[in-house]
Amino acid sequence: MKLSSRAESHLFKALDNFAIELPSWGFADTGTRFGKFFQPAAASTVEEKFHDAGLVHKLTGACPTVAVHVLWDFTPGSDPNVTRRIAKKHGVRIGSINPNVFQDQQYKLGSFCSPDAKARADALEHTLDCIDIGKAVGSDSLSMWLADGTNYPGQDSIYRRKRELEKAFKKIVEVMKKKWPRATMFIEYKPFEPAFYHTDIADWGMAAAFCMSCAGTSGKAKVLVDTGHHLPGCNIEHIVAFLLSENLLGGFHFNDRKYADDDLTLGSIDPYAVFRIFDQIVQYAFERGMPEGKLPGVAYMVDQSHNLKPKLEAMVQTVDQAQRLFAKANLVDRKALAKAQGTGDIVGAETALRNAYETDVTPLLARWRRSHDLPADPLAALRKSGVIDKLGKERAKARKERGETQSASYA
């Protein structure tokens, strides 16, 4: 597909505005419920996590912020600006704040939904502390994922759990409005795991209902769509379109999946599905008459943790794939598509999408990257640099000097 200079300028503006947040935890050794497979170059300190995130940003030019997990990226009782300064040192900023209300033993039966009043109170106190941290480090979002749910029928009252969660979310938004007014709370959902009978926020409709009940139409609470958290056959782009139309789409956690859950690099299983999601976002902007290169204010975040792929390579792969699929969505001939849709030309409408999806955008991305003094192929540049082997040797030595070891553990 040959683009006019105007069309290429439009695409470059869209890419300029396309930012993807990286997860700090995605650079560290993490595992499955069965165990861990360690990588010598994995980050084991906050400094190393931000170093790696900064490296991905230098290679791709698209990752200026890093999502952080409270408990994992902040030392209890310390000044949160220590972490902020580390981020700045490596050329990135702190992005979404992720409370941890699932790791402690007291959350065995849930956090905000637990039958234990102390567990509920502690979860709320921790989240309110996260609000203080978010304000202090200049973040603009609080990302809520809960492991709450039950494993057996009759284990707990689903009605009580819903009431408790609603009450907690209302309190959180109320405090955010007073103490951290620039921020938005994102509510994530998951159909199952770790709970196997019911999860308390099982789908996008429940997440949207909680957003409305705790924040109304204020925009202070929105839905976070994790592209891996859906049952087989789910039409994710339909969810995206519906939430956009209701002003309830807050953002994404990018990954992929074959059967269920997530943690695969974006587009590794079904890149056309990701393209269709981006297509709906660009289509929304087109139908709303937004200026060229401008899109709805949606947060794009990565949520992946790799045991087999080298972590830095996996992150660069995901960002590169996201840029490719995003660029393709911006190449759809919207006027031709609208004409085909308006005349009932189903084949013509589908062809408009397929033509854009099947376009090789490698030369376009290379030109955009060169205009920003970036490597034309960031993954190739990373692999050629030898930095992963170098980091592996340096970090193995540093762990040894700190008296740390990497040993398999089971959840």
- Which percentage of the chain shows pLDDT scores above 70? 98
- The structural domains of the chain, with segments of one domain joined by +, span 7-402
d(CA 215, CA 327): 34
Tell me what pLDDT residue 214 has: 97
* Mean pLDDT across 315-327: 98
Tell me what pLDDT residue 33 has: 67
Q: What is the mean pLDDT of the chain?
A: 95
Q: Does domain 7-402 have CATH number 3.20.20.150?
A: yes
* Mean pLDDT across 99-103: 95
Residue recorded with tokens 């009759």: 154
Would you say residue 37 has pLDDT above 90? no
Cα–Cα distance list, 131 to 117, 181, 306, 382 (Å): 21, 10, 29, 36
Among candidates 115, 21, 96, which has minimal Cα distance to 319?
A: 21
Q: How far is CA 31 from the centre of its chain?
A: 19
* Mean pLDDT across 24-37: 84
Q: Are 95 and 149 in contact (CB under 8 A)?
A: no
Radius of gyration of the chain (CA): 22
> Residue 406 — very low, low, confident or very high, per pLDDT cuts 50/70/90?
low
Tell me what pLDDT residue 75 has: 82
Would you say residue 3 has pLDDT above 90? no
Would you say residue 173 has pLDDT above 80? yes
Tell me what pLDDT residue 162 has: 98
Q: Are 149 and 200 in contact (CB under 8 A)?
A: yes
* Mean pLDDT across 316-332: 97
d(CA 390, CA 379): 16
Tell me what pLDDT residue 1 has: 65
Express each pLDDT in 68-84 by its tens digit. Answer: 999 899 987 889 999 99
> Residue 408 — very low, low, confident or very high, per pLDDT cuts 50/70/90?
very low
Would you say residue 2 has pLDDT above 90? no
Q: How far is CA 338 from the centre of its chain?
A: 31
Would you say residue 51 has pLDDT above 70? yes
- In this structure, the number of other CB atoms found within 10 A of the CB of residue 233 comes to 5
> Residue 285 — very low, low, confident or very high, per pLDDT cuts 50/70/90?
very high
* Mean pLDDT across 372-384: 98
- Which percentage of the chain shows pLDDT scores above 90? 89
Would you say residue 369 has pLDDT above 80? yes
Tell me what pLDDT residue 262 has: 81
